[in-house]
Amino acid sequence: MKLKALTLNGFKSFADKTKIEFTDGLTGIVGPNGSGKSNIIDALRWVLGEQSAKSLRGDKMADIIFGGSESRASLNRAEVSIEFDNTDQTLKRLPESVVICRRLYRSGESEFLINNKNVRLRDISELFMDTGVSRNSFSIISQGKVESVFNSKPEDRRYLIEEAAGISKYKKEKLKARSE
Ligand code: ATP
Ligand code: MG
C-alpha cells in the first residue's frame, strides 16, 4: 500500500485547499519555523482517527479548524483527506484507490468517510489495524516517541512489536471468541 496524497482544507494554518502528492521515494518537507510542517503530520494523524486534542497540540478539537489571521477570517470547517494506492489489497475488499476523509465543524459535528461513504471512527480504526498505518502505530514517530519507546515498560514495547508484526487483530479476535 502506498500513500498517494494528503489534502488539507481549513486544517490549522492551511486555510486554502492544499494537496500534497507523494511520489515514489522519500519525501521531505522543509520550511521556516512556524510554516506548518508539523501541522501536516497532525493532519495525517487526525484523518486516521486521532481523538486527543492534546496530541494534536491543541486544547480542544476545534483548535484544528483554521482560526483566522490578520488578513483572513476564521473558517467553520476543517477537512482532511488521504489517498492510498491499494493495488496490493492491504485494505481488504476495497478498490485500488482508497480515500479516507474526516470533517469537523465548529458546531462540533463531525464526519468520517471511506470513498465518499459515511462510516464510523471504529470502521477506520479496524480498517488500518495491523497495517502499520493506524493513528498510534510505529509508522508515525514523533520526537517524544523515540524516547518513550526506549523508556517504556516491556509490555508496552511488546504492543508496538505485535502491531508491527500484524498480530494484534488476531489477538482481538481471540479475546472476542473467548467471551462469546
Ligand atoms: P517548526 O519548524 O518550529 O517545528 P513548523 O513548520 O512545524 O515549525 P507548525 O507547528 O506546523 O510549524 O505550525 C505552527 C503555525 O500554525 C503557527 O503559526 C500557528 O499559529 C499556526 N496554527 C496552528 N493552529 C492554527 C489554527 N487553528 N488556525 C490558524 N493557524 C494555526
Ligand atoms: Mg514542527
This complex has an ipTM of 0.98
pTM of the full predicted structure? 0.85
pLDDT, one tens digit for every residue, the chain (180 residues)? 899 999 999 999 999 999 999 999 999 999 999 999 999 999 999 999 999 999 999 999 999 999 999 999 999 999 999 999 999 999 989 999 999 999 999 999 999 999 999 999 999 988 888 777 766 666 777 767 778 888 889 988 888 788 777 787 788 889 999 999
Nearest ligand 1 atom to the CA of 40 is: 11
Collapsing DSSP to helix, strand or coil, 124 comes out as helix
pLDDT for the residue 142: 75
Report the alpha-carbon distance of residue 96 to residue 78 in Å, rounded: 26
Q: What is the pLDDT of residue 141?
A: 76
Alpha helix positions (H), the chain: 37-47, 121-128, 143-151, 154-165, 168-179
The pLDDT value given to residue 136: 62
Say how many Å lie between the CA of residue 13 and the centre of ligand 1. Answer: 6
- Residue 135 pLDDT: 63
Distance (angstroms) between ligand 1 centre and the Cα of 144 equals 18
Question: Nearest to residue 41, comparing CAs of 60, 62, 20?
Answer: 20
DSSP string, 155-168: HHHHHHHHHHHT-H
Superfamily classification of domain 2-131: P-loop containing nucleotide triphosphate hydrolases (3.40.50.300)
Give the model's pLDDT for residue 97: 97
pLDDT digits (tens, 9 = 90+) for 95-108: 999 999 999 999 99
By most ligand atoms within 8 Å of CB, the mutation choice from 6, 12, 72 for ligand 1 is 12
User: Which residues form the pocket of ligand 1, taking CB atoms under 6 Å from any ligand atom?
Assistant: 12-13, 31, 33-39, 63, 65-67
Domain ranges of the chain: 2-131, 141-180
